[in-house]
Amino acid sequence: MAKTDVNEAKQFAKHILRQLMIPLEVDGHRISLTASIGAANYPEDGESIHALLTSADIALNHVKKNGKAKYQLYDPQMSERLKEKTSIELALESSAQNGEFDLYYQPVIDIVSGSICGFEALIRWRHPSMGLISPEKFIPIAEQSSSIVAIGRWVLHRACSDIRSALDAGVQMPPIAINLSGKQFSQINLVDDLMTILAEYQLAPKNLSIEITEGVLMTDPIASKNTLGKLRDLGFSLALDDFGTGYSSLSYLKNFSFDKVKIDQSFVRELLVNSSDAAIVKAIINMGHNLGLRVLAEGVETEAQCVFLRDQLVDEIQGYYFSRPLEREQMRQLLHDNRRLESHLIRFPHISKTLLLVDDEQNIVSALKRLLRRDGYEILTANSGADGLAILASNKVDVIISDQRMPGMMGVEFLSLVKINYPDTIRMILSGYTELSSVTAAINEGAVYRFLTKPWDDDRLRESIKEAFQYKNFADENKRLSLQAQESSFALAIANRQLAETIEKKQHQITIHTHSLDIVREALRYTPVAVLGLDEQYMVAFINEAAIALFKEIPLNFGDELLFCFPELGEMIVRSSESSLNSLLYNKQKFIVRWFNMGTSSTKGKIVTISLVASFHDELSATSA
């Protein structure tokens, strides 16, 4: 067997794929074919036919799982990954019974109040020999087998058990989000199983939030919509997870019963440095709000990301910035401590009066602190621009007063950097030097709000600082009012969405009731027994074909008053009791008359049946009945 030339193998594989992609004409039909190719090299990937075919088959399976219609040369790492996958598949079968799984909970924060409004349940697997196995590794393998259903049931039981335990301990638990896999969500008895598990732990649907990915919905959109509708009607909160990474179809948000959309962390991670990610995040937030949905951003790891998302009116955040996933005892302790997001990061922070003084001369800083302390400001100090930036990184500052000439970084340069990173601050220069060109440029560019000179007049300086804080408060108030207006618009969108859903359900119920009523009317219309429907004033509201034929000599029709048109029958109904048998002689024939009140529904009146007695025996039979 000759040694394989790798390049020749690649070229040959490409040639086969190109030839197979040429459309064929069969009986007037145009047919296109695709293929996947796995290739192995001799002797590196096997010295026997069997070994080479095994390696080629492994390469082929790799192609099929990663896009198809391609070719792949065998790589020894594929065998290692296959062995690892096989080991994980076998280990998953008994992992739950062996107590190898654990559930962690990552807090979800309401950006308006800063409080914890929920948790997401995240499974962890610690295998005795393989160690900690990442969910990103074992969940896809579990989803390819039936083990994902058992794992999903374990997660539900464990989460409900932890909720019940916390409630029994007096801890007020927000909802815990559970992500359902495709196989779990597509089960026919899913809704019944969820309600059974909740009943076992004496919980309600409001204690859980159900998360579904776009890929799960794609499997069977019609069945998915029906299942989501049932869950929503029962009171479960529903979220569309990882939005933006899959199909991202607007129809999912419009036509499915979701309460919340979650922005995938891949967009949040680089939104401050990637304009495309920032634009996508803004678009998802606006789109979600316009459809009356809350929007949650995953993977928030820095304060800057939190500020950006807050200013774009995201509703909830989740990520390492606030907390890593926690064990159940840590989760309960976090709730007990009532930990919240820092006040300056919430949607409507409290009004503050923090002043930062930056000057390399300590005597100047001390003099300014003595002068301004009586005005009620919280005063922070720094001796250089670099120190000032460090303070700003960990403190919310409203107004900055900086010297111009400082070692390492001039005041204008410092404030220009502040403008970029902390644009909401009010920035002022206090200097004995009048380098007009640089200062004027800074003022014109908006880096400096006002230029003050040394030595200063105490009253004038205090007044200037007071005006700066007033300007800051006005700007904050305008921003707050704008945010509140957008919040109100969002609340209105939610109300409109809920109203539209309610109207749609009512219209559906009316349609069903109307259809049912039509069926009943049709059945009564052609029944051989004469039937009359009377309203509360004994007006004929319904008369079937048998009754019309029976009373054709009167005649008796829809809308006639029975007591006027047929007084004998009307007075009999008035005098007799409900469901009693009454004899009526009409047109030389004897009839049995019975009536019943219609009061179990909103309809009022009576239903009357008139049955012919053909003989004495029939009369006795009817009477005994």
Interval 228-249: pLDDT, tens = 989 988 999 999 987 766 555 5
Domain presence at residue 502: no
Strands 176-179 and 208-213: what pairing? parallel
Q: Give the Å distances, CA to CA, from 241 to 2, 33, 150, 297.
A: 53, 35, 21, 10
- Quick one: 12 and 135 in the same domain? no
- Quick one: 309 and 330 in the same domain? yes
Q: Report the CATH number that the domain containing residue 161 is assigned in CATH.
A: 3.20.20.450
Query: Looking at residue 247, what is its pLDDT?
Result: 56
CA 7 to chain centre: 49
Q: Report the CATH number that the domain containing residue 472 is assigned in CATH.
A: 3.40.50.2300
Domain presence at residue 81: no
CB 598 within 8 A of CB 578: no
* Residue ranges in the chain modelled with pLDDT below 50: 615-620, 622-625
Domain boundary among 477, 493, 514: 477
Domain presence at residue 57: yes
Query: Looking at residue 615, what is its pLDDT?
Result: 47
Domain presence at residue 131: yes
Instruction: Kindly state the tokens that stand for 442.
Output: 């800074």
Domain presence at residue 504: no
- Quick one: 389 and 467 in the same domain? yes
- Quick one: 115 and 258 in the same domain? yes
Q: Spell out a b/e string for 493-508, using b for 16 or more CB atoms within 10 Å of the CB, else e.
A: bbeebeeeeeeeeeee
Cis peptide before 407 (omega within 30 of 0): no
- Quick one: 211 and 179 in the same domain? yes
CA 456 to chain centre: 57
- Quick one: 33 and 174 in the same domain? no
Domain presence at residue 364: yes
- Quick one: 141 and 250 in the same domain? yes
- Quick one: 41 and 184 in the same domain? no
Domain boundary among 342, 375, 398: 342
Which among 62, 53, 45 has a CA at the least distance from the CA of 3?
45
Domain presence at residue 80: no
- Quick one: 129 and 69 in the same domain? no
Query: Looking at residue 581, what is its pLDDT?
Result: 92
Query: Looking at residue 214, what is its pLDDT?
Result: 80
Q: How many structural domains does the chain have?
A: 4
- Quick one: 15 and 65 in the same domain? yes
Q: Report the CATH number that the domain containing residue 578 is assigned in CATH.
A: 3.30.450.20
Q: What is the pTM of this model?
A: 0.58
Distance CA 183, CA 474 (A): 55
Distance CA 44, CA 28 (A): 47
- Quick one: 129 and 250 in the same domain? yes
- Quick one: 361 and 315 in the same domain? no
Query: Looking at residue 619, what is its pLDDT?
Result: 47
Q: pLDDT tens digits for 289-343?
A: 888 889 999 999 999 999 999 988 899 999 999 999 999 999 999 998 989 998 8
Query: Looking at residue 356, what is its pLDDT?
Result: 93
* Average pLDDT over all residues of the chain: 83
Q: Give the Å distances, CA to CA, from 154 to 86, 95, 97, 184, 625.
A: 22, 11, 10, 12, 59
Domain boundary among 280, 308, 342: 342
Residues in contact with 434: Cβ distance below 8 Å, sequence separation at least 6, in sequence order: 453
Q: Which domain holds residue 442?
A: 354-477
Query: Looking at residue 525, what is its pLDDT?
Result: 82
Query: Looking at residue 616, what is its pLDDT?
Result: 43
CB 108 within 8 A of CB 211: no
Query: Looking at residue 357, what is its pLDDT?
Result: 92
| Helical spans, DSSP H, in 204-352 | 214-219, 221-234, 250-255, 265-268, 275-290, 303-311, 328-337
Domain presence at residue 507: no
Instruction: Kindly state the tokens that stand for 224.
Output: 């998915």
**Most distant pair of Cα atoms in the chain: their distance:** 126
Query: Looking at residue 48, what is its pLDDT?
Result: 76
CB 280 within 8 A of CB 267: yes
Instruction: Kindly state the tokens that stand for 18.
Output: 């190109």
H or E element that contains 584: strand 582-586
274 C-beta neighbours (distance < 10 Å), count: 13
